[in-house]
């Protein structure tokens, strides 16, 4: 199978080719519920594997430090124009290598080492790069963190405001990596304005929902929008920074030459294609379907006695607190993996357990929606999860294997680009 799908790779490096082929089978046969993952289209896959790979292009379109940029300039300019159109922003930089370096560029643009920065705490759903201690952003800057309320699982905007007015951070990050609820960008904007802070919306997880109109947009509310391109936006692994004209120069200078060298042009091409796809009516339908599926899955999990952080979801993501099931998140995640259901273990807010063995698992619907599953399938998905968690509690490996076969059976009916058919 691998030889025909990747003939040159198989001939040159059969060992590596076999790993890729095995991954293709794994992705084809499993139900991928990791909310930060997706399946890119065949067009995005092709664009990301082109000879654009071969070029060095330090600088920006029309202002490069290398000759031979006639075509590269058009690729990058197209990606930039599409990003501006899709997100309704003045300026877009499509060069950040990924979400974490994109955020680091924001620090470089607006803060000095030692400055106070504010973001959501990692165990509350924030991202490492929002000033958390183990990240460079938490050791080079003074990170202060906000969280969610213990009774509701929601952000307490009054508390965030009080903290911001006390701390006067240079930068405030809103957004995160395990947030099942809508982010109120207008509320953050008024807080940042009062505190005199630069406001950054890190929409890495929800960029596709925003593009498809299934989550409010931060455009017009925040100074900078940071996003990855490979999560709900369904592009190649990469990132973008978008902002008002007044910040354009600072952002561009921070990305290059501040932080990075040459842009990954093959990735820029894939981003351009993904942005084109995200501007189509079919993507609007996709984004709404992701949310409808997540709500249906959340309802089906609640019916089966699962405890969900904040009681449900507004977006693509669900955080299950397994404390009541008497099973640690890691044990559950590993059992689900054996059952062909791929999730990640995750802290829940106020988690009494350690981050490396927390109380929850994080799931989401971007991938299964890309494969064409709909709300009618969600009770089945919830059922598998419930059975797998039960089986894990009893140590019933046979039951996990049976679920794995059922999952593979359904997934065979829903192919995805780049994957073998059976």
Cα–Cα distance for residue pair 125/146, rounded to 1 Å: 10
Indicate which single residue of 2, 10, 27, 36 sits in contact with ligand PLP (rule: CB under 6 A). 36
- The answer to whether 237 is a known catalytic residue is yes
- The answer to whether 63 is a known catalytic residue is no
Where is 319: in which H helix or E strand?
strand 317-321
User: Which window, 4-12, 197-205, 210-218, 404-412, contacts ligand PLP (CB under 6 A)?
Assistant: 197-205
Please say whether the beta carbons of 404 and 272 come within 8 A: no
Q: Which of 142, 237, 253, 304 is catalytic?
A: 237
User: Which window, 76-84, 169-177, 190-198, 247-255, contacts ligand PLP (CB under 6 A)?
Assistant: 169-177
Number of H helices, E strands in the chain: 17, 15
Question: Which of 126, 103, 131, 104 shows the shortest CA–CA distance to 115?
Answer: 131
Identify whether 257 is preceded by a cis peptide bond (ω within 30 of 0).
yes
SS3 349: coil
Secondary structure (DSSP) of 124-157: GT--GGGT-TTSHHHHHSEEEEE-B-TTTSSB-H
35 in contact with ligand PLP (CB under 6 A): no
**Smallest gap from residue 35 Cβ to ligand PLP (A):** 9
Cα–Cα distance for residue pair 51/136, rounded to 1 Å: 34
Indicate which single residue of 29, 57, 129, 346 sits in contact with ligand PLP (rule: CB under 6 A). 129
205 in contact with ligand PLP (CB under 6 A): yes
Sign of CA dihedral 14, 18, 20, 25: positive
Q: What is the largest CA-CA distance in the chain?
A: 64
Please identify, using beta-carbon distances, which residue of 137 and 359 lies nearer to ligand PLP: 137
SS3 53: helix
95 in contact with ligand PLP (CB under 6 A): no
- The answer to whether 231 is a known catalytic residue is yes
Q: Which of 129, 137, 177, 228 is catalytic?
A: 228
Site string (43-82) toward ligand PLP, x via CB under 6 A: ----------------------------------------
SS3 221: coil
The residue whose Cβ lies closest to ligand PLP is 99
Indicate which single residue of 29, 93, 95, 228 sits in contact with ligand PLP (rule: CB under 6 A). 228
Please identify, using beta-carbon distances, which residue of 126 and 328 lies nearer to ligand PLP: 126
Calculate the CA 209 to chain-centre distance: 11
Task: Please tell me what DSSP assigns to residue 155.
Answer: B
List, edge to edge, every strand of the sheet that includes 344-346.
307-308, 317-321, 360-364, 344-346
Indicate which single residue of 45, 61, 77, 98 sits in contact with ligand PLP (rule: CB under 6 A). 98
Sequence-distant (≥ 6) Cβ neighbours of residue 373 within 8 angstroms: 293, 381, 414
User: Which window, 11-19, 114-122, 151-159, 173-181, contacts ligand PLP (CB under 6 A)?
Assistant: 173-181
Please identify, using beta-carbon distances, which residue of 48 and 100 lies nearer to ligand PLP: 100
**Smallest gap from residue 173 Cβ to ligand PLP (A):** 8
Distance separating the N- and C-terminal Cα atoms of the chain: 11
Question: Angle at the Cα of 96 (from 417 to 133), degrees rounded to 5?
Answer: 105
232 in contact with ligand PLP (CB under 6 A): no
Number of residues engaging ligand PLP in binding (CB under 6 A): 14
175 in contact with ligand PLP (CB under 6 A): yes
**Smallest gap from residue 178 Cβ to ligand PLP (A):** 8
**Smallest gap from residue 104 Cβ to ligand PLP (A):** 10
Beta bridge partners of 228: 239
**Smallest gap from residue 346 Cβ to ligand PLP (A):** 12
Indicate which single residue of 78, 79, 122, 204 sits in contact with ligand PLP (rule: CB under 6 A). 204
Phi-psi region of 367 (alpha: psi -120 to 50; beta: other; left: phi over 0): alpha
- The answer to whether 267 is a known catalytic residue is no
Residue 40 CB: number of other CB atoms within 10 A? 25
- The answer to whether 277 is a known catalytic residue is no
202 in contact with ligand PLP (CB under 6 A): yes
127 in contact with ligand PLP (CB under 6 A): yes
The token pair at 108 is 């470089």
Place of tokens 């046979």: 398
Indicate which single residue of 176, 212, 328, 358 sits in contact with ligand PLP (rule: CB under 6 A). 176
263 in contact with ligand PLP (CB under 6 A): no
- The answer to whether 406 is a known catalytic residue is no
Indicate which single residue of 99, 131, 236, 364 sits in contact with ligand PLP (rule: CB under 6 A). 99
Q: What residues act catalytically?
A: 56, 58, 202, 228, 231, 237
Binding site for ligand PLP (CB under 6 A): 36, 98-100, 103, 127, 129, 175-177, 202, 204-205, 228
């Amino acid at each position: 199978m691998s030889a025909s799908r990747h003939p040159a790779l198989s001939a040159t490096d059969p060992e590596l080719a076999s790993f890729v082929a095995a991954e293709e089978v794994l992705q084809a046969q499993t139900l991928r519920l990791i909310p930060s993952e997706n399946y890119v289209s065949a067009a995005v896959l092709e664009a990301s594997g082109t000879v654009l790979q071969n070029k060095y292009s330090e600088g920006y379109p029309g202002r490069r430090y290398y000759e031979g940029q006639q075509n590269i300039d058009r690729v990058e300019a197209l990606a930039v124009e599409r990003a501006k159109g899709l997100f309704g922003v003045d300026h877009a930089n499509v060069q950040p290598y990924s979400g974490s370096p994109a955020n680091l560029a924001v620090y470089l643009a607006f803060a000095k080492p030692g400055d106070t920065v504010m973001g959501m705490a990692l165990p509350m759903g924030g991202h490492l790069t929002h000033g958390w201690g183990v990240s460079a952003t938490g050791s080079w800057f003074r990170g202060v963190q906000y969280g969610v309320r213990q009774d509701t699982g929601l952000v307490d905007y009054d508390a965030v405001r009080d903290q911001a007015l006390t701390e006067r951070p240079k930068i405030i990050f809103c957004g995160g990596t395990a947030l099942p609820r809508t982010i109120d960008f207008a509320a953050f904007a008024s807080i940042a304005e009062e505190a005199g802070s630069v406001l950054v919306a890190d929409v890495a997880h929800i960029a596709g929902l925003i593009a498809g109109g299934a989550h409010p947009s931060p455009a017009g509310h925040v100074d900078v929008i940071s996003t990855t391109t490979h999560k709900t936006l369904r592009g190649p692994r990469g990132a973008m920074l978008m902002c008002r004209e007044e910040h354009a120069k600072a952002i561009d200078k921070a990305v290059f030459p501040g932080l990075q060298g040459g842009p990954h042009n093959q990735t820029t091409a894939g981003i351009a294609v993904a942005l084109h796809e995200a501007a189509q009516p079919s993507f609007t339908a996709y984004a709404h379907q992701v949310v409808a599926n997540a709500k249906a899955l959340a309802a089906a999990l609640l019916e089966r006695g699962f405890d969900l952080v904040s009681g449900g979801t507004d977006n693509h993501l669900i955080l299950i607190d397994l404390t009541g099931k008497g099973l640690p998140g890691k044990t559950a995640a590993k059992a689900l993996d054996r059952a062909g259901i791929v999730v990640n273990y995750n802290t829940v807010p106020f988690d009494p357990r350690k981050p490396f063995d927390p109380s929850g698992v994080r799931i989401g619907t971007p991938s299964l929606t890309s494969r064409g599953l709909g709300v009618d399938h969600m009770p089945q998905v919830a059922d598998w999860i419930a059975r797998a968690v039960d089986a894990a509690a009893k140590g019933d490996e046979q039951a996990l294997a049976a679920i794995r076969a059922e999952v593979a059976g359904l997934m065979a009916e829903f192919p995805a680009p780049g994957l073998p058919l059976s």
